[in-house]
Amino acid sequence: MKITELIKPNTFNNENHWYPKVLNATIHPMVNFFLNLDKERIIARYCHLHPKVNAEKLREILSYECKYFLWGRSRFN
């Protein structure tokens, strides 16, 4: 049986929770560029590549705020 361990604020130790390769990982420059675009620019680029997409619906999806799964929302909220 596993015992649950309480991790209090400021006590999280990365080395105990992730494998070594992740600790030194960096985000790919192209992904970093895309994630730093503002919401309207992402919508414009996506709709340009996918003309059948409804821009207003995409805007609604990117603005959605989860009620219970708080870390499952978009970064644009």
Eight-class DSSP state of 73: S
Stretch 42-62: mean pLDDT, rounded?
Answer: 95
C-alpha gyration radius of the chain: 18
Q: Looking at the predicted structure, is the pLDDT value of residue 77 above 60? A: no
Domain ranges for the chain, please list them.
Answer: 38-77
CA-based nearest residue to 37, from 25, 27, 47, 45 = 45
pLDDT band at 76 (very low <50, low <70, confident <90, very high): low
